[in-house]
Amino acid sequence: MSKTVRLVSENWGKIVPGSVSDYIKVGGFEALKKAIEITPTGVIEELKKSNLMGRGGAAYPTGIKWEQIYVIDKYPKYIVCNADEGEPGTFKDRLLLTEDPLKVIEGIIIAGYTIKAEKAYIYIRGEYPRAQEIMKNAIKNAKEAGFLGDNILGTGFSFDIEVVSGAGAYVCGENSALVESAEGKAGRPRIKPPYIKNVGLFNMPTLVNNVETFAYVPVIIAKGAEEFTKYGTEKSPGTKLISICGNVVNRGVYEIPFGLTMREIIYDIAGGIEGGRELKFVQIGGSSCECMPKELIDTPFCYKELKSKGFSVGSGAILVVDDRTCVVDFIKCITEFFVHESCGKCTPCREGNTQVYNIIKRFTEGKGTEKDIKLLERLSTTMKYASFCGLGQTATNALSSCLKYFREEFIEHTKGICRTNVCKF
């Protein structure tokens, strides 16, 4: 029996992306009509019952987030759909944008109706030109069909959506940096408070949610929270899109119910390790998240169980790594990425990432010492607690977990030993 499901991904491959007639044939826009019937407070209550957590990585309860901005009596309000998807190893939002764009759009329209917003911006990363064109076409078609624009469905509710292109900055995945970039400024995080819900886009109340989060809204409203919570676990209800890559047979995007173990995901869904090699570790959530050793892969994939062991669902990226990989070299590659992507606003992140990279590089050259291991731990702790935004705070998560589970390999490098011979001393 297949361990994957088709809930938010049910229309993939069955309709012409962006076609309103095709989308309506499979039940499209029925959720919007229902949302109008049950009123904004009814929508919020249904989302709260579903316990839908933000699918971008922060895992903040969606219903509560919408309620917080709903009660703010300040207008105009805006919505920003975060389609930046800059987390390495994550590519599930791209499929939502290109396979079922109108579902994302319907979710955004429902959000606009619920919080009484006038306009939404879909911020799509610059590396997704095809997704941008598909979304623009879908928006145009939705307007022509009367689901966007003035007096939607004769309700007096008017709402518009515009696509904004990012410029490839990882830091713009952070909500306030995203808003800054959408305004045409440098993508750097803002001081909080004030929070985005109060002072966001153009200094007005703003709702920011991830693509996947918006896509789940029509599903929950149309099918009901009770149907949604039949999937998953008590604390992590529903399903999740995961992006599997690395040393597995079947790479790709899959929709799974929360609660499957990492072993089931790797061996049953992804087909196991390429060439029958041995699993070394799996990085869950993206490059800003921790690395799980093979001994822990019987842990269920859900918010509670992963958190209890020091890991996180994150964006849903799952990078599977086999025994050919040198842990130290792996961390060097990740740290090099964060050195490049740091916006430079705060010293702990700007200088910390650079220093971590220089130290790790010494290890790959056979020049690292056990004193350097202690220094890496101190730097990691400082960055976690002193960095201005989530980029610096999470940049060394992979390093910290590898020092915990694969410390021996770092020590071996101080003696000129690399188990995989990747590092040439």
- Which domains are delineated in the chain? 20-228 (3.40.50.11540), 239-322 (3.10.20.600), 327-414 (1.20.1440.230)
- Give me the tens of pLDDT residue by residue for the chain, a chain 425 residues long: 479 999 999 999 999 999 999 999 999 999 999 999 999 999 999 999 999 999 998 899 999 999 999 999 999 999 999 999 999 999 999 999 999 999 999 999 999 999 999 999 999 999 999 999 999 999 999 999 999 999 999 999 999 999 999 998 999 999 999 999 999 999 999 999 999 999 999 999 999 999 999 999 999 999 999 999 999 999 999 999 999 999 999 999 999 999 999 999 999 999 999 999 999 999 999 999 999 999 999 999 999 999 999 999 999 999 999 999 999 999 999 999 999 999 999 999 999 999 999 999 999 999 999 999 999 999 999 999 999 999 999 999 999 999 999 999 999 999 999 999 999 88
Please count the other Cβ atoms lying within 10 Å of the Cβ belonging to residue 167: 12
Residue 321, beta-bridge partner list? 281
Tokens of 276: 């029958």
Distance between start and end Cα atoms, the chain: 49
Residue 162, beta-bridge partner list? 121
Residues 6 or more apart whose CB falls under 8 angstroms from that of 383 comprise 348, 349, 352, 353, 356, 392, 393, 395, 396
pTM listed for this prediction: 0.96
Please count the other Cβ atoms lying within 10 Å of the Cβ belonging to residue 64: 12
Give the integer Cα–Cα distance in Å for 327 and 229: 38
Q: What DSSP character marks residue 221?
A: H
- Look at the block and give the residue holding tokens 């971590």: 356
SS3 of residue 262 by DSSP? helix
Please count the other Cβ atoms lying within 10 Å of the Cβ belonging to residue 370: 12
Give the integer Cα–Cα distance in Å for 270 and 251: 6
CB 269 within 8 A of CB 244: yes
Q: Which helix (H) or strand (E) holds 24?
A: helix 20-25
Cα 283 to the center of its chain, rounded Å = 14
Q: What does the pLDDT read at residue 159?
A: 98
CB 222 within 8 A of CB 103: no
